[in-house]
Every structure is written in structure tokens, then in C-alpha cells.
Structure 1
Amino acid sequence: MKQGLGTQLRHLIELLDGAVAASYEEAGIDYRPRYTPVMRALAQGGPRTVGQIAEAAGITQPAATQTVALMLKEELVATTPSATDARQKLVQLAPRGQALLPQLQRCWAATGAAAASLDADLTYPLSGLLAEAIEVLGRQPFGERIRAARERLENDTDNNDKEPS
């Protein structure tokens, strides 16, 4: 039985994330792979709002909010009130996050090299294919594609139900 796209993607993420998580453990770092987009955004740009982190990291704002909350508990990041908008908080690397950065950067370099190796072994580089899929879905989201496919299927069924004249 052929697996669906979602099942394949979840399995791929399990394979990749599991290996990345194991590499952090092997390096002696207590760290989750999901923190990486936030850590990179903060390492490059200093204090940012959650919205700015989401944009810089290429993740949704709810995902950034959840990740920052987890990172706050682990004292990887800290928040301060925004000087310009009291409703907003600025997120920045906490001392523990700053201290982990050199080790993380070495892990990220190894992960990047492993990803390049995977791309080289594939018929079509996965990183390029994923970037293309994201771009194409930006032009026509998957939800629109599902609705269009449903309409076509319903129209085909309706047309097949009619008696020939």
C-alpha cells in the first residue's frame, strides 16, 4: 500500500529530527531541534519580538510563541518589555543560551554537511525540492488544491450518475 504524502513527511521528519536530537545528546547538549530556528534568529539579530522571530525563522507566529515559551522554561531565552510598546515583549538569548551557542554552531555545521551529503545521494536534492514545494504552495495552498480536487471528483461523480441521452 502506498503511503500518503503526510505519512511520508511525518516519517521523514522523525528520521531527520531523531538523528539531529541524538547528535545534540552525543555532543552533551540538552537541547531540542525545534529550538534551532529561534536560536538562529536571536543569534543573528539580537532582541526581537515573537513576530520578528517568526518572520526571521520562517515559522508561524504560534509555533514561535510555543517554542519561546519552552525555551523560557529551560532558561535559553529571556524576555524584557519593549521600550516602544508596553504590550510587547522582546526575546533575547539568556546567558545559558549564549553559552551554548558555540557548541550549537558546531552541531549546526555538522548537520548542514550531513544535509548536503543527503542531497548529493538523492536523484533530486531534498533541500531544493522542499524549497520548490514551499514556493509552489505559497502560490496555491494545499487547502485550495484539496477543495479543487473535491469539486472535480464531485463533478465527475455527478456526470457519471446522469443517464446518457
Structure 2
Amino acid sequence: MRQGLGTQLRHLIDLLDGAVSAAYEEAGIDYRPRYTPVMRALEGGEPRTVSQIAEAAGITQPAATQTVTLMMKQGLLEASPGVRDARQKIVRLSAQGEALLPQLRLCWQATRAAADSLDRDMPYPLSDALAEAIAALQTQSFGARIRAARATTKSKKETS
């Protein structure tokens, strides 16, 4: 029996994240793979709001908020109140976060090379398939697709 899409994706993420976590550990870095989109969004040195980080990283605002909070607890980020709106957080890399960047960049290069290797071993590059799936879901969300499938199933039952 073929596993469902969600089960397959979770398993793939487990395989990828587990290997990347191990690579950070082997490099002597106390760092989680989920931090990378935030680090990448801030590595240029420009402070950003959580919304700007989410947009630049391609993650949801709640995911960005949770990740920023974890990274602040670990000392990788600092935040200050916004100039126009004190409720808004302006986030930047801390000195510790900045100091970690050279080691992280080496890990990211190795991870990119490993991802390229995986793409070459497949009949259709996984990175292309994922990009196309994301684009298709931006055109029509998975929720809309579920609702349409439900409506189709319901109308087939009624005509039977």
C-alpha cells in the first residue's frame, strides 16, 4: 500500500532534517535546521521585523515567530521595539549569531552539494518537483482542492 502524501512528506523531512542536524552536531554547532531560513533572512546584517523575516524566508508568520523566539533564547538573535510601533519587534543577529555564520556557511555549502547529489540521483529533480508543487498550491490551495474533491464525491453519490 502506498503511503499518503502527508506521511511521505513527513518521512522525507525526518530523513533530511535528521541528517542535517547530525551534520551540525558533527561540526560542533548547537543549531537546529529550522533556524536556517531566519539566519539567511538576517545574514546581510539588515534588521527586520518578524513579518519581513517570514516573507524573506518563505515561511509563515507563526513559524517565524516561534523560530525567532527559540533563537533569541539560544542567544543567536536580539530584538528591539520598532521605531514607529513599539509592539513590533525589530530582529537582528546577535554577536553570537554573527560569529556562527562562517561555520554555518560551510555547513550550508555541504548541504547544498548533498541536495544537488540527491537531485542527480533522481529521474526528476526533487527540488524542481517541490518548486512546482508549491507553485501549484499557490494557484489553488490544498484546502480548495479538498473541498472540490468533497463536492465531486458528494455529487457522484447523489446521482448514483
Where do residues 85-124 of structure 1 align in structure 2 (5 Å cutoff)? Answer: 85-124=85-124
Task: Return the offset for 1:79.
Answer: 0.4
Task: Return the offset for 1:24.
Answer: 0.2
Aligned length: 160
Task: Return the offset for 1:84.
Answer: 2.7
Deviations 1:44-67 (A, max 9, x none): 252100000000000000000000
Task: Return the offset for 1:157.
Answer: 1.1
Where do residues 3-152 of structure 1 align in structure 2 (5 Å cutoff)? Answer: 3-152=3-152
Secondary structure of 2:92's partner? strand
Distance change >3 Å, CA 103–CA 130, structure 1 → 2? same
**Aligned partners of 2:135, 2:142: CA distance in 1, in Å?**
12
Deviations 1:94-133 (A, max 9, x none): 1111111000000000000000000010011000110000
Deviations 1:11-48 (A, max 9, x none): 00000000000000000000000000000000025210
Task: Return the offset for 1:73.
Answer: 0.5
Distance change >3 Å, CA 59–CA 45, structure 1 → 2? farther
Amino acid at match of 1:7: T
The answer to whether the 8 Å contact 2:75/2:97 transfers is: yes
Runs of 4+ in structure 1 displaced over 4 angstroms? none
RMSD: 0.8
Aligned-residue identity in percent: 68
Amino acid at match of 2:48: R
TM-score, scaled to structure 2: 0.98
Note the residue ranges of structure 1 that are not aligned, 5 or more in a row.
161-165
Secondary structure of 1:154's partner? helix
Secondary structure of 2:78's partner? strand
The answer to whether the 8 Å contact 2:78/2:93 transfers is: yes
Amino acid at match of 1:17: D
Secondary structure of 1:117's partner? helix
Higher gyration radius (CA): 1
